[in-house]
């Protein structure tokens, strides 16, 4: 899986973002990280995906689905369902 197939919108200060990044690293999953603090259009995209909410991380998958603030269990299940892991 190439890193273009998963995009994470997040920020350095976000604990849930750090947890999801750590899980992806442990699983050897590549992804593209977009920092909503430095890319204001990314913050707009997060609000668009979340129906106005600014919750992060938002992890977008190549099948067009996304997870917002996923637990490790939910993120792992999603990766398995897409045959990424």
pTM of the model: 0.93
CATH number for the domain that contains residue 7: 3.40.30.10
| Count of domains forming the chain | 1
How confident is the model at residue 2, as a pLDDT?
A: 57
Main-chain phi, psi angles of 65, to 5 degrees:
-90, 170
Q: Report how far residue 13's alpha carbon sits from residue 6's, in angstroms, rounded to the nearest whole number.
A: 21
> Per residue in 24-73, pLDDT tens?
999 999 999 999 999 989 999 999 999 999 999 999 999 999 999 999 99
What's the confidence (pLDDT) of residue 50? 95
Q: Which residues are within 8 A (CB) of 69 and not within 5 positions of it... i.e. 6 or more apart?
A: 16, 55, 56, 57
Per-residue model confidence (pLDDT) at position 4: 63
Are 32 and 69 in contact by the 8 Å Cβ rule? The answer is no
| Cβ–Cβ < 8 Å for 42, 15 | no
**Domain interval for residue 19:** 3-81
């Amino acid at each position: 899986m190439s890193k273009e197939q998963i995009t994470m919108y997040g920020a350095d200060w976000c604990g849930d973002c750090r947890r999801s990044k750590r899980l992806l690293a442990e699983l050897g999953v590549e992804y593209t990280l977009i920092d909503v603090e430095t890319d204001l259009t990314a913050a707009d995209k997060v609000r668009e995906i979340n129906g106005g909410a600014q919750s992060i991380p938002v992890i977008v998958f190549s099948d067009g689905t996304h997870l917002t603030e996923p637990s490790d269990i939910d993120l792992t299940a999603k990766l398995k369902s897409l045959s990424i892991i």
